[in-house]
Amino acid sequence: MFIELLKTRRSIRRYQDRPLEKEKLETILKSALLSPSSRGTRPWQFVVVTDRAALMKLAACKEHGSAFLKGAAAAVVVLADTAACEAWVEDASIASVIMQLTAHALGVGSCWIQVRGRQHSRDVKAEDYVRDALGVPEEYAVESIIAFGYADEPKTPHPEPQLPHAKVHFESYGR
Ligand SMILES: Cc1cc2nc3c(=O)[nH]c(=O)nc-3n(C[C@H](O)[C@H](O)[C@H](O)COP(=O)(O)O)c2cc1C
């Protein structure tokens, strides 16, 4: 059941020193290409990075929340053509999370690194840093980097009794 998969998903930021099988990476990428998108515009592009030096460079894209990428087996940088569709943020986000869920189904850990709207340093946007590191053309926004690798940290599922059910409203707000 898909819900069982969702119950055990957690963000993984510590990885074993073990490469990701080519077939698993291909399945993860296929799942991204199968993602729904607004009006079927598919505004995304994906840059797959496995080279250690390149992962190290991307790990420095922000001051906080990206350093763990150094230890990942692979990263997929999610880009979007902002002129293709006004819902590109949603489209790129959906593809990002679909890759994460596919990875989890394959026994592979992952974590989202937010790039859009974040700073590399006071004067440099994280997006520009990543664009420069990977040679991404100006017309593409950088939404996220999804880090992948086999987990080297124990993570327990979110306890079900603690789920914020009060955030769900039936028929009208507040009920
Ligand atoms: C839009 C979005 C942006 C995120 N950005 C980062 C990030 O930049 N760095 C990071 O370590 N985790 C990031 N995360 C992971 C969240 O911190 C994580 O999902 C949250 O703490 C809940 O933990 P869980 O995924 O284990 O349930 C992001 C998640 C989402 C959905």
Dihedral pair phi/psi, residue 44, rounded to 5°: -80, 160
| Ligand 1 binding pocket includes 65 (Cβ within 6 Å) | yes
| 171 within domain boundaries | no
| 172 within domain boundaries | no
**Domain extent for 110:** 8-154
pLDDT tens for each residue of 72-88: 999 999 999 999 999 99
pLDDT of residue 33: 98
| 173 within domain boundaries | no
pTM score: 0.98
Å from CA of 97 to ligand 1 middle:
11
pLDDT tens for each residue of 4-54: 999 999 999 999 999 999 999 999 999 999 999 999 999 999 999 999 999
pLDDT tens for each residue of 88-98: 999 999 999 99
Q: Which residues of 117-153 are buried (b: 16+ CB within 10 A; e: fewer)?
A: ebbbeeeebbbbbbbebbebeeebbbbbbbbbbbbee
pLDDT of residue 135: 98
Domain count, the chain: 1
In this structure, what CATH number is given to the domain that contains residue 117? 3.40.109.10
E-strand stretches of the chain: 44-49, 74-81, 109-114, 140-149
pLDDT of residue 42: 98
Atom of ligand 1 nearest to the CA of 118: 8
Q: What are the residues whose beta carbons fall under 8 Å from the beta carbon of 12, sequence distance 6 or more?
A: 109, 110, 111, 149, 151, 153, 155
| 112 within domain boundaries | yes
Under a CB-based contact definition with an 8 Å cutoff, are residues 58 and 77 in contact?
Answer: yes
Atom of ligand 1 nearest to the CA of 155: 26
C-alpha span between 134 and 112 (Å, rounded) = 18
pLDDT tens for each residue of 99-111: 999 999 999 999 9
Ligand 1, atom 22, lies closest to the CA of 11
Q: Choose which residue among 63, 100, 111, 158 to substitute to test ligand 1 binding: the one with the highest number of ligand atoms within 8 A of its C-beta.
A: 111
| 62 within domain boundaries | yes
| 16 within domain boundaries | yes
**Which amino acid makes up residue 20?**
L
| 121 within domain boundaries | yes
| 175 within domain boundaries | no
Å from CA of 65 to ligand 1 middle:
9
